[in-house]
């Protein structure tokens, strides 16, 4: 049971989902799937090819022609689009500011969900995103809804940018996070929402290790219940 368990982690931007999901996957020897990276990759390619992000049909058609792979490597997870490593290119402000437009289209989401579900078959997996517990893995054994205050989330991103030597403005980050939360929570198709059976974890005053431990504790409890 533990080997094929699925863990869904959803929540708003910069709540700590990917950092924590990666560590939980490592501890359990599960695969980690970053679904946000898939929406980012499509957004990046659309910008390259000058496809309008408002054009659902054009984006869907672009996605159908796009080979998109998440590859686990020593350097962490690589995002490969048509054989090119775009792991860094999909994290720019240009992509971040527009990715929620790409993610609002029904046809795009349906195809992304189909691809995400294919990655899971018979494997232990930790998947993070916005609609994992509600749509992608509705039968996940463990569902986490990870939140933190906007101020805390902006501070975390700011710190991360400064450490990487990227330009960063705290007020602009707060604005971007608020705007993306708003778009993601209010879109018509599978909005960001806590699944009824998800456990909410407020990480505002928790460090990464504390959040990882909390989730491992929830996983342990769940697997003991099911034995």
Binding site for ligand CDP (CB under 6 A): 11, 13-19, 35-36, 39-40, 99-100, 103, 129-131, 156-157, 160, 180, 184, 203, 206-208, 211
| 14 vs 70, beta carbon nearer ligand CDP | 14
Contact call for residues 190 and 131 (beta carbons, < 8 A):
yes
**Interacting residues of 201 by C-beta distance below 8 A, sequence separation 6+:** 144, 145, 146, 147, 211, 214, 215
Contact call for residues 134 and 195 (beta carbons, < 8 A):
yes
| 2 vs 193, beta carbon nearer ligand CDP | 193
Strand order in the sheet with 76-81: 68-73, 76-81, 84-85
Smallest gap from Cβ 226 to ligand CDP, in A, equals 26
| 3 vs 204, beta carbon nearer ligand CDP | 204
Smallest gap from Cβ 221 to ligand CDP, in A, equals 20
Smallest gap from Cβ 23 to ligand CDP, in A, equals 10
Smallest gap from Cβ 35 to ligand CDP, in A, equals 4
Which tokens is 6 given?
């699925």
| 45 vs 157, beta carbon nearer ligand CDP | 157
Smallest gap from Cβ 154 to ligand CDP, in A, equals 10
Contact call for residues 45 and 62 (beta carbons, < 8 A):
yes
Smallest gap from Cβ 169 to ligand CDP, in A, equals 16
| 24 vs 129, beta carbon nearer ligand CDP | 129
Smallest gap from Cβ 127 to ligand CDP, in A, equals 8
| 14 vs 219, beta carbon nearer ligand CDP | 14
C-alpha 56/C-alpha 64 separation (Å) is 12
DSSP strand pairing (6-10 vs 142-147): parallel
Contact call for residues 16 and 146 (beta carbons, < 8 A):
yes
| 1 vs 208, beta carbon nearer ligand CDP | 208
């Amino acid at each position: 049971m533990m080997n094929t368990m699925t863990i869904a982690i959803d929540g708003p931007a910069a709540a700590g989902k990917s950092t924590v999901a990666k560590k939980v996957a490592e501890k359990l020897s599960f695969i980690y799937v970053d679904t946000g990276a898939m929406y980012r990759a499509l957004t990046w390619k659309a910008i390259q090819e000058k496809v309008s992000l408002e054009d659902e049909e054009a984006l869907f058609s672009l996605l159908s022609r796009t080979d998109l792979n998440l590859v686990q490597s020593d350097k962490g997870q690589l995002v490969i689009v048509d054989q090119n490593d775009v792991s860094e290119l999909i994290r720019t402000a240009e992509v971040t500011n527009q990715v929620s437009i790409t993610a609002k289209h029904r046809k795009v989401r349906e195809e992304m969900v189909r691809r995400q579900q294919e990655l899971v078959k018979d494997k232990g997996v930790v998947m993070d995103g916005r609609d994992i517990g509600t749509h992608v893995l509705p039968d996940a054994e463990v569902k986490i809804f990870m939140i933190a205050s906007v101020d805390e989330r902006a501070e975390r991103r700011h710190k991360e940018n400064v450490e990487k030597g990227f330009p960063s403005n705290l007020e602009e980050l707060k604005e971007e996070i608020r705007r993306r939360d708003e778009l993601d929570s209010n879109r018509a198709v599978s909005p960001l929402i806590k699944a009824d059976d998800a456990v909410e974890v407020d990480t505002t005053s928790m460090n990464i290790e504390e959040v990882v431990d909390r989730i491992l504790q929830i996983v342990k409890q769940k697997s003991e219940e099911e034995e």
